Structure 1
Amino acid sequence: MFQTSRISSCVLAALLGIAGAAQAAEPIRIGMIDGLSGPFANAGQAVVRNLQYAIDRINAKGGVRLPEGARPLALATFDNKQAVEESLIALRQVTDQRIGFVVQGNSSAVAAALIDGIEKHNQRTPQQRLLFLNYSAVDPTLTNDKCSFWHFRFDAHADMRMHALTEVIKDDASSHRVYLIGQDYSFGQQLARSARAQLGSKRPDIAIVGDELHPIGKIKDFTPYIAKIRASGADTVITGNWGNDLTLLVKAAKEGGLNVKFYTFYGNGLGAPAAIGEAGVGRVRAVAEWHPNTGQGVSNSPSDAYYQAFRQRYPQPEDDYVHLRMHLMIEMLASAIEKAGSTEAAAVARALEGARFRNAFHEATMRADDHQLLQPLYVSVMRKTADGSVRFDNEGSGYGFKTERYLPLSQTALATSCKMKRPS
């Protein structure tokens, strides 16, 4: 017994020593540029929680292993107030601080500006190049016509997400009249085009009875928009709205008694389930790479364990917004740095190309052609936890989401028009 305890103590001391050495080493800094104030602050803060959680998991294992020794990851945040100019100012702060990795996602307009800014910086300053990891900016052009060697996207782009949603609408015999509503910037505009094209191909009998774009983050009362949707006779609404623009939209729909189905990109969090409440049961759908109830019915589900670990770290209901893709992004970055044996941007980028991720309940591949992550997608429908159809609710609302359609990786991959220019 004494010998076993002594060995265990020695192993523990060794592990603590490894972790301590990593913490003492110079950290590998990751600069997050996103909205941490203003109307979309809740979305930005949700990102911080997810990134910090993933970073802490890497550091708890000893950090990132490099030839000169293990180094921890560290997150630095820069509030861009959801504006392009503020984002470019933040990018200059990142380069001034010699941070080698930039992450961003909540705005495709911002992402496009960062890609352009990083391209120019890397050409001017090849000895201090940056790598851009995108967790949520889903305009398809970012990995098509505007693809960049220095940019990697870890979320399914809008056409991929729309493909998943329209696969469900295609088989919904009760859908005949569709209303499109979105935010008036590159993402919202592309989403409307994608919805029209895909519905036209899969369900040419469906009529598009409304196509509305509204100012992003400016509308406080969506009642007039709900009135337009009702007047159109729509039975189905498709929206890519996110953050408060989605919450206020579905809240107005609930208060106005609008009896339609909502097909959303982000309807499973940031206040949306609570805002729409009982009216959303069986009617609100969301698409994502994962959701908390994917493991329902599976004994000792790894998915359940993963979700419960996050909730243990962040127990407050308002903090219940888990982004698997962000955790995956940090893990793939750490693995790529280790494979490259370096933090130099080009070396890490080459290590990321074609990289694969796999855990007990998810798989993904970073396509080298366009730096678009390929992964499964779930379309889930809102349910009430009290009726026993879902195990976990969202944000303490009493409402959760149940898988309606699962698309494996092979069915979510779409062709790319990217013509990648790689550095010599």
Structure 2
Amino acid sequence: MNFRKHVLGTVCGVMLMSGAAWAQKGETVKIAWIDPLSGPFANIGQNSLKTFQFMAEKLNANNAAGVKFEIVSFDNKQSPQESLTVLKAAIDQGLRYVTQGNGSGSAGALIDAINKHNERNPGNEVVFLNNAAVDPDFTNSKCSFWHFRFDADTSMKMEALTSYMKDEKSVKKVYLINQNYSHGHQVAKFFKEALSRKRPDVQIVGEDLHPIGSVKDFAPYIAKIKASGADSVVTGNWGTDLSLLIKAAKDAGLESMFYTYYGGANGTPSAIGPMMEGKVKFVYVGHSNIPEVFKLEGEYNAKFKDDLSLLTTMHVLPALAGGIAKAKSTDPVKVAFAMENLTVKSFSGDVTIRAADHQLQQPLYIATWKKISDPKKQWNAEGTGFTWVQDKVFEPYVSSTPTSCQMKRPGA
């Protein structure tokens, strides 16, 4: 099944309308992309931006709503305060849809600001399409009608990861190392909770929280891990904080298995390299060797000389197109209602936006860093000669977690 039919295909049974029925056919829908284009996480932001532009180009050729997407970039410098400044600039320019994902701190600031803006400015509402900020509170205690999340949250990924780890008899002593902000705290919290249910025999032999984006040498942390006797390391680190952590592990000859959230993110595969073969795993919404993704990797690499790693973009724009098609409007309020319970065809099959909390329900994958054995089917990650080999896939009903969200909807 080709990409257009499979990823961009029929959404919730919505059929293309024709003629005068589509008042907005051919309309351009601008999306404010707010993430870092400078600072320590610039490479992650630049990769994300290119991926959104790539997906917009794909959907502009054919989508259920007949609209054109335009990505308008804003550099938030990985700062919640700067995120609010550029959000105001985007709203002043008339942009009604916002996407962001690198950092739950920035995402939380955007959710609060968008809630206030929409309350004060009826008729000029904004919808937030969260592509990667994974704080579970965003779809629980802080849930908002205006917020939709397309990545799996921290608790969902941990449910899948620990369901895999519970059957790994080699896991006996675990060290936790995470960035010192909400996501890092929650990785540790949810691991401890899941571990007590699934593998109470496993010991947590150490735990560290470090400043985000400012540690240049992780050797002291690796020395502590090595001294603890840990056979496994669990980390939610991303970007340079993961790349430098793994570099320090290589330099010290650490033999522990790394269980990561973001081992596949831009720049990290190059840091892992051949020395860590079989020693790094990740949990994510997909991987590059799923057939449809593998094909897109080739197209993306040919265009940008880079790897496509932010797979959540393959759900964000098709879901927005599906919501516009279902609502027969580009009005954010109507589209937001239409996106509730929306099902989109993707590389993982059907994925659905749960109406209760606006959290996408989707499969999660565990994969291990290994040398390529079949170049025709395995993506050469960042030209390293290595790839992510699938260990396990967890269907949505396994990785899904309950929600405490009490959604307040317009007009209720």
Under a length normalisation based on structure 1, what TM-score does the superposition of the two structures give?
0.88
Bigger mean CA offset, 303-312 vs 208-217: 303-312
Q: CA deviation at 1:196?
A: 0.7
Q: 1:155 aligns with which of 151, 154, 158?
A: 151
Q: Distance in 1 between matches of 2:315 and 2:122?
A: 28
Q: Specify the alignment match of 2:44 in structure 1.
A: 43
**One-letter amino acid matched to 1:119:** N
**One-letter amino acid matched to 2:300:** F
Q: Specify the alignment match of 1:186 in structure 2.
A: 182
Q: Say yes or no: does 1:367 pair with 2:333.
A: no
Q: Specify the alignment match of 2:280 in structure 1.
A: 284
Q: 2:226 aligns with which of 230, 233, 242?
A: 230
Q: CA deviation at 1:390?
A: 7.0
Q: Say yes or no: does 1:313 pair with 2:313.
A: no
Alpha carbons of structure 1 residues 53 and 265: separation in structure 2 relative to 1, 3 Å:
same
SS in 1 for 2:31: strand
Q: Deviations over 1:325-360 (max 9, x none)?
A: 212110110111121121221111111000001146
Q: 2:388 aligns with which of 396, 401, 408?
A: 401
Bigger mean CA offset, 340-349 vs 38-47: 340-349
Q: Distance in 2 between matches of 1:154 and 1:269?
A: 16
Query: What's the Cα RMSD here?
Result: 2.0
SS in 2 for 1:148: coil
Alpha carbons of structure 1 residues 269 and 127: separation in structure 2 relative to 1, 3 Å:
closer
Alpha carbons of structure 1 residues 403 and 212: separation in structure 2 relative to 1, 3 Å:
same
SS in 1 for 2:142: coil
Structure ranking higher in helix proportion: 1
Q: Specify the alignment match of 2:196 in structure 1.
A: 200
Q: Specify the alignment match of 1:29 in structure 2.
A: 30
Q: CA deviation at 1:393?
A: 2.1
Q: CA deviation at 1:386?
A: 5.5
Q: CA deviation at 1:408?
A: 1.1
**One-letter amino acid matched to 1:307:** E
Alpha carbons of structure 1 residues 95 and 101: separation in structure 2 relative to 1, 3 Å:
same
**One-letter amino acid matched to 2:336:** A
Alpha carbons of structure 1 residues 23 and 79: separation in structure 2 relative to 1, 3 Å:
farther
**One-letter amino acid matched to 1:421:** K
Q: Say yes or no: does 1:95 pair with 2:91.
A: yes
Equivalent pair of 1:140/1:159 in contact (CA under 8 Å): yes
Equivalent pair of 2:315/2:344 in contact (CA under 8 Å): yes
Percent of pairs with identical residues = 46
Q: Specify the alignment match of 1:244 in structure 2.
A: 240
**One-letter amino acid matched to 1:117:** A
Q: Distance in 2 between matches of 1:184 and 1:238?
A: 14
Matches within 5 A, 1:332-351: 332-351=319-338
Q: 1:74 aligns with which of 61, 70, 92?
A: 70
Equivalent pair of 2:266/2:309 in contact (CA under 8 Å): no
Alpha carbons of structure 1 residues 313 and 23: separation in structure 2 relative to 1, 3 Å:
farther
SS in 1 for 2:278: coil
Equivalent pair of 1:386/1:398 in contact (CA under 8 Å): no
Q: CA deviation at 1:174?
A: 1.0
Q: Say yes or no: does 1:138 pair with 2:128.
A: no
Q: CA deviation at 1:363?
A: 2.3
Q: Distance in 1 between matches of 2:91 and 2:186?
A: 31
Q: CA deviation at 1:293?
A: 1.6
Q: Distance in 2 between matches of 1:135 and 1:108?
A: 11
Q: Distance in 2 between matches of 1:73 and 1:362?
A: 24
Q: Distance in 1 between matches of 2:112 and 2:42?
A: 25
Alpha carbons of structure 1 residues 232 and 323: separation in structure 2 relative to 1, 3 Å:
same
Q: Specify the alignment match of 1:9 in structure 2.
A: none
Alpha carbons of structure 1 residues 335 and 256: separation in structure 2 relative to 1, 3 Å:
same
Q: Distance in 1 between matches of 2:375 and 2:41?
A: 33
Q: Say yes or no: does 1:117 pair with 2:113.
A: yes
Alpha carbons of structure 1 residues 124 and 387: separation in structure 2 relative to 1, 3 Å:
closer
Q: CA deviation at 1:321?
A: 2.9
**One-letter amino acid matched to 2:405:** C
Q: Deviations over 1:153-187 (max 9, x none)?
A: 00000011111111121011111110001111111
**One-letter amino acid matched to 2:240:** N
**One-letter amino acid matched to 2:204:** I
Q: Distance in 2 between matches of 1:248 and 1:304?
A: 27
Q: CA deviation at 1:287?
A: 1.0
SS in 2 for 1:282: coil
Q: Deviations over 1:292-331 (max 9, x none)?
A: 1234xxxxxx4433333333333x2xx2133232121101
**One-letter amino acid matched to 2:32:** G
Q: 2:368 aligns with which of 356, 374, 381?
A: 381
Alpha carbons of structure 1 residues 341 and 26: separation in structure 2 relative to 1, 3 Å:
closer
SS in 2 for 1:392: coil
Equivalent pair of 1:111/1:134 in contact (CA under 8 Å): yes
Under a length normalisation based on structure 2, what TM-score does the superposition of the two structures give?
0.91
Q: Specify the alignment match of 2:402 in structure 1.
A: 415
Equivalent pair of 2:134/2:154 in contact (CA under 8 Å): yes
Q: CA deviation at 1:24?
A: 11
Q: Deviations over 1:248-285 (max 9, x none)?
A: 11011001111100000011232222222233212100
Alpha carbons of structure 1 residues 273 and 359: separation in structure 2 relative to 1, 3 Å:
closer
Q: Distance in 2 between matches of 1:384 and 1:41?
A: 28
Q: Distance in 2 between matches of 1:76 and 1:360?
A: 26
Bigger mean CA offset, 127-136 vs 380-389: 380-389
Q: CA deviation at 1:383?
A: 0.3
**One-letter amino acid matched to 1:134:** N
Q: Distance in 2 between matches of 1:233 and 1:247?
A: 22
Q: Specify the alignment match of 1:299 in structure 2.
A: none
Q: Deviations over 1:187-217 (max 9, x none)?
A: 1111110111111111001111111110000
Q: 1:304 aligns with which of 294, 297, 315?
A: 294
